[in-house]
Structure 1
């Protein structure tokens, strides 16, 4: 399997090379040359998630240096539970049982396990922009791994207190940069660093954002796993409601469906950042400034993975046929959190709450098939929002509590690319 740039001006590469590069040399995003179609009987009925992932991803790694290591990578990286819990009217795919209590653990751990098995010259610098959970997951996945440094950028004042603790508790081979800007500034700075060939080579840059296919491929696997389970139970392809920010998680679901997996309608739950919602409502693709909301990890005004979706479908009209979007206000997020314990027996993080509200807004369509609401983070990561609304303390998972107890380290920088370039030059010296 080869991977091509969405912009068509870079040579094709294998999976491992695409992961190491992060961004294609022409500034585009890597996409697979094709989507292999797998029948449900290609998967063992009672297979664990790691085994399902290895089956789905095998064609994507065909003829690559990582092909022989894929089963070991999946077993190492995907070793925590992903419960498909029952709620009132839908299932909840709980993706927050990894070491940093967020769905980003799946992709970050898979990517780290892959990169650790690839030959490389000198140290690699994993450069990542985060709107909340990505940075902590990437730092945890690469923490203490020889041959790797992590440089993560996050927006000052735009992440929860516990998210910031996770972003700054590492030290050692992790440098945390607090940017005086929003997530789009962080993402722009990362892209500009990758667009500088000399800096890219000198610092040995690779990416762990959802621009990396090493993040997206394992995320496609959990949609395959959940879709297969419900299809075997009910005989119907379930719909998925996905909290959406940079569109990586949503795109992974669409990729899994392209591979023939039993996945029905896909609904993108978005917040007051209206770029995605307006597009799926028929408007033009118009990136704009980020709006700060309760669902802070979804505060993205220019989602980078739209480039992949448009490349896959060929036109805006075709892209709109792949999914729909429901825009959810902060007040609707608050209301969904408030009624979570009484109606559903559990608290939701603000991002999961957007998806719950979106499912509730489906009307008659909610009864036509099984639906899965994707729970992307543990509510304890957002205690300042959740606890006042539910009127109770949300217990922290032990792994998260352990991270909160660590000392914190960060460096403040402005939103200018030259400031990041100077720090990267120092890191690579």
Structure 2
């Protein structure tokens, strides 16, 4: 199978080349030429085996084809449980059981395994450049920390992540450098894309990305949607619908990939915070990126979602895309109210991002939608204790891996919102 750019200016290439490059040479995002069916019957009680079945068709021509099962075993070695809520016909897909307590852990670990095995022993070190709105950077840092042959450079918007998120971005050292950018996540993302498209810089430094623009982030995330939907269908005899909290659209795009691969997935609904570029578009307005606004659900503070380019590529026109997805915006006051009421209404304590999904679920129920829905829980609430604990009235204990990270010293460097400043830091 070959992989092509959403912009059509790059020759079809192998998955190995696409994974190493991160961004296509023409500035577009890599996509597979087609979305195939899984290679085998899903063993939906085993996430790693499910991941292998989903990913194997994409790796049929890869140098890693015979190593893929082992890669999946290493990357998907913690669960993605589908937990019943106390709401009728509603579930929570918990994706926060990894080392940094966020859904980004699955794909970051997969990408780290893949790039490590593709790397030639005598190659110069590869720099993984990642822009983060709170969780991606920590997941990438954890996945690549102390891996021989790799350096990690994290860009995050100064003052726009939670204190525990910031600590999780800054507590690694060794081969990980963290920069606080004087700007928004969209500024960080713009700087990263500019570096990845800079042929002069890339002639000096082996550079790639672990953001959701990377094919190595997109494809593995389809695995947990495949497992959850296949298990649900086997147990209930019907399709499961998903509500996906989203900012940069990577996780939502993975849900769409799983659905188009033939998994029993019903409707996919997007939940955003007050950054409402997507809801306005799906309501019929032109797609108009805007400056990101700071909200309580900070990991979704995105005004120009990169993966929208993939969504547009996969649909003939705006009408077809709008028919495929819906999106709803949730403001901070509603996020707070949802967190406060969630223990009694749903039997869970959510993070602010998951709360946007729970509110959309409540809105659907109020409109009489009785279909089975799963809200995607993207992060552990303990990462946002300053927001969550006052609302639920008790402490939220961090899971062991997060507690260990919080116990380590943290350090970062300021960075101007200027590409010349980033170029200076990246160049030899």
Aligned partner of 2:83 in structure 1 is 85
CA distance in 2, matches of 1:286, 1:44: 40
Partner SS, residue 202 of structure 1:
coil
CA distance in 1, matches of 2:323, 2:67: 36
CA distance in 2, matches of 1:206, 1:400: 27
CA distance in 2, matches of 1:363, 1:356: 11
Aligned partner of 2:406 in structure 1 is 404
Aligned partner of 1:62 in structure 2 is 60
- Label 1:254 to 1:116 Cα distance change in 2 as closer, same or farther (>3 A): same
CA distance in 2, matches of 1:385, 1:238: 31
CA distance in 2, matches of 1:352, 1:366: 22
| Residue among 353, 356, 379 paired with 1:354 | 356
Aligned partner of 2:376 in structure 1 is 374
Partner SS, residue 269 of structure 2:
strand
Partner SS, residue 128 of structure 1:
strand
Aligned partner of 1:158 in structure 2 is 160
Superposition RMSD in Å: 1.2
| Residue among 319, 322, 345 paired with 1:320 | 322
Q: CA deviation at 1:393?
A: 0.5
Cα deviation 1:194-253 (Å, max 9, x = unaligned): 111121231210100000010111101111111101111111111000001000000000
Aligned partner of 1:43 in structure 2 is 41
Partner SS, residue 266 of structure 2:
coil
Partner SS, residue 19 of structure 2:
helix
Cα deviation 1:290-340 (Å, max 9, x = unaligned): 111110000000000000000011211111122101111111100110011
Partner SS, residue 240 of structure 1:
strand
Cα deviation 1:330-383 (Å, max 9, x = unaligned): 111001100111222221000000000011111367654321110000000000
CA distance in 2, matches of 1:45, 1:210: 26
Structure 1 unpaired stretches of 5+? none
CA distance in 1, matches of 2:44, 2:108: 25
CA distance in 2, matches of 1:263, 1:194: 34
Question: Which deviates more from structure 2 when the two are superposed, residues 199-208 or residues 395-404?
Answer: 199-208
Cα deviation 1:61-100 (Å, max 9, x = unaligned): 1111121111000000110111111102211110000000
- Label 1:379 to 1:366 Cα distance change in 2 as closer, same or farther (>3 A): farther
Q: CA deviation at 1:27?
A: 0.4
Contact 1:360–1:366 under 8 Å retained in 2: no
| Residue among 68, 71, 74 paired with 1:73 | 71
Partner SS, residue 280 of structure 2:
helix
Cα deviation 1:243-291 (Å, max 9, x = unaligned): 0100000000001111011000001001100111101111110000111
CA distance in 2, matches of 1:91, 1:285: 31
Partner SS, residue 250 of structure 1:
helix
CA distance in 1, matches of 2:16, 2:413: 31
| TM value normalised by structure 2 | 0.97
Contact 2:16–2:63 under 8 Å retained in 1: yes
Partner SS, residue 62 of structure 2:
coil
Aligned partner of 1:294 in structure 2 is 296
Q: Count matched residues.
A: 424
| Residue among 228, 235, 242 paired with 1:233 | 235
- Label 1:136 to 1:290 Cα distance change in 2 as closer, same or farther (>3 A): same
**1:18 corresponds to 2:40:** no
Matches within 5 A, 1:138-287: 138-287=140-289
CA distance in 2, matches of 1:332, 1:303: 23
